[in-house]
């Protein structure tokens, strides 16, 4: 049981060839492009959703920050679709791999911070000291603010990895428990099955919320720095 | 009569699969374009055939998307069959 539990998180390879590349590229198949004014239902739904999300998320930014709109919208679409596809049976979720989430978080955070340092150096450095601190506390507070800044990309990546991995593990465990309990005591198995259904509904929500949170935080770091 | 006989014979390379006779099948397969651009073209043709039939229509239904997801689930099952084999409810594995 122990080996099987984590078997679904192994990077899929086939005969030494990276199958994971195909799996990462698969969500792009589900978002077709079109140059028409009036599209088919799939594209119309996706465009409506994208407009809703982009208006809500990019309205807080100034002109310079709004140049990141394409990047942030692609980010939320990618993380959302990858997480939702991972809820299908037997599928592999790339966002459970810390390596990939670090690869997304570090460049985006670094881009926002470096933009802030290059264009508004004084204001970016001023972030390290909140207004109105008593003088003796200043050195310690600068250290604390620096640490809290440097930990932002790590927190972004680990938050996403941990949430999605924990959800998948719980589904595996409770599903296995339901199956094992069916031959022992059917009523308990039924209760466990209801818990499984509630958990799956939660996982659908978590999949979308985590995408939103990741993108929102990147957007906030950007707002601080533009 | 000689000209009409020549004009009605379609060369083997351009026949579609359902028009190829059984005896000609091996040579038909060998004559297909297996270059990278040929394979890419085959995938592109297949994608647009599916897309234009089920998704890019006036009243597309959920079936267009569901069939793709069902195929995805099936392919992932095939990929992980080796590990799933051991989880069957059998006395001897």
pLDDT at B88: 79
Which structural domain range is residue A213 located in?
7-225
pLDDT attached to residue A126 = 82
**A40 lies in some domain:** yes
Provide the number of structural domains found in chain A.
Answer: 1
Q: Is the pLDDT of residue B70 over 90?
A: yes
In this predicted structure, the answer to whether residue A217 has a pLDDT above a threshold of 70 is: yes
Higher local confidence (pLDDT), B11 or A141? A141
Predicted confidence at residue B85, as pLDDT, reads: 83
Is the distance from CB of B92 to CB of A107 less than 8 angstroms?
no
Q: pLDDT class for B73, splitting at 50, 70, 90? A: very high
Q: How far is B37 from chain A (nearest CA, A)?
A: 18
A1, A31, A40, A168: which to substitute to probe chain B, counting the most B Cβ within 10 Å?
A: A40
Q: Does residue A43 sit within a domain?
A: yes
User: Is B20 a residue whose pLDDT tops 90?
Assistant: no
Q: What is the mean pLDDT of chain B?
A: 80
Structure confidence by residue, pLDDT tens digits, A143-183: 998 999 999 999 999 999 999 999 999 998 998 888 888 88
In a domain? residue A64: yes
More confident residue, B90 or A24: A24
Q: What's the whole-model pTM score?
A: 0.86
Main-chain dihedrals φ then ψ at residue B89, nearest 5 degrees: -85, 75
pLDDT at A1: 59
Residue A160 near residue A210, CB atoms below 8 Å: yes
Residue A4 has pLDDT above 80, yes or no: no
A12 to B79: CB separation less than 8 angstroms, yes or no: yes
Name the residue among B55, B73, B84 with its Cβ closest to that of A40: B55
Residue A2 domain-assigned? no
- List pLDDT tens digits, range A72-128: 999 999 999 999 999 998 899 999 999 999 999 999 999 988 888 888 888 888 888
Q: Is A46 on the interface with B (CB under 8 A)?
A: no
Exposure string (b/e) for A83-117, b if CB count within 10 Å is 16 or more?
A: bbbbbeebbbbbbbbbebbbebbeebbebbbebbe
Mean pLDDT of chain A: 88
Separation in Å, CA of B35 to nearest CA in chain A: 20
On whether residue A24 sits in a domain, the answer given is yes
Q: Is residue A1 part of a domain?
A: no
β-pairing, A13-14 with A17-18? antiparallel
- CB of A40 within 8 Å of a chain B CB? The answer is yes
**Would the pLDDT of B2 be above 90?**
no
């Amino acid at each position: 049981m122990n080996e099987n539990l984590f078997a679904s998180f192994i990077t899929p390879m086939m005969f030494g060839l990276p199958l994971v590349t195909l799996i990462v590229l698969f969500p792009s198949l589900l978002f077709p492009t079109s140059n028409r004014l009036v599209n088919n239902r799939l594209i119309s739904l996706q465009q409506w959703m994208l407009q809703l999300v982009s208006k809500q998320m990019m309205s807080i930014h100034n002109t310079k920050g709004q140049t990141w709109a394409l990047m942030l919208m692609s980010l939320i679409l990618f993380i959302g679709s990858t997480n939702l596809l991972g809820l299908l049976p037997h599928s592999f979720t790339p966002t459970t791999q810390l390596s990939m989430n670090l690869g997304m978080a570090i460049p985006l955070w670094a881009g926002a911070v470096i933009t802030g340092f290059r264009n508004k150096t004084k204001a970016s450095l001023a972030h390290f000291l909140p207004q109105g601190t008593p003088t003796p506390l200043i050195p310690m507070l600068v250290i604390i603010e620096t640490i809290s800044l440097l930990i932002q990309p790590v927190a972004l990546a680990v938050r996403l990895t941990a949430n999605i991995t924990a959800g998948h593990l719980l589904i595996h465990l409770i599903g296995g428990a339901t199956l094992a309990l069916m031959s022992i005591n059917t009523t308990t198995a039924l209760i466990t099955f209801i818990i499984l259904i509630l958990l799956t509904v939660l996982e659908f929500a978590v999949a979308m919320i985590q995408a939103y949170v990741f993108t929102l935080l990147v957007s906030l770091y950007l707002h601080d720095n533009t | 009569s000689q000209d009409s006989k020549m004009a009605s014979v379609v060369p083997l390379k351009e026949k579609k699969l359902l028009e190829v006779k059984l005896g000609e099948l091996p040579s038909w397969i060998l004559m297909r374009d297996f270059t990278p651009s040929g394979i890419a073209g085959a995938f592109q043709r297949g994608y647009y055939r599916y897309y234009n039939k089920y998704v890019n229509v006036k009243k597309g239904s959920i079936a267009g998307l569901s069939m793709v997801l069902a195929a995805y689930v099936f392919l992932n099952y095939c990929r992980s069959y080796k590990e799933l084999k051991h989880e069957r409810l059998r006395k001897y594995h």
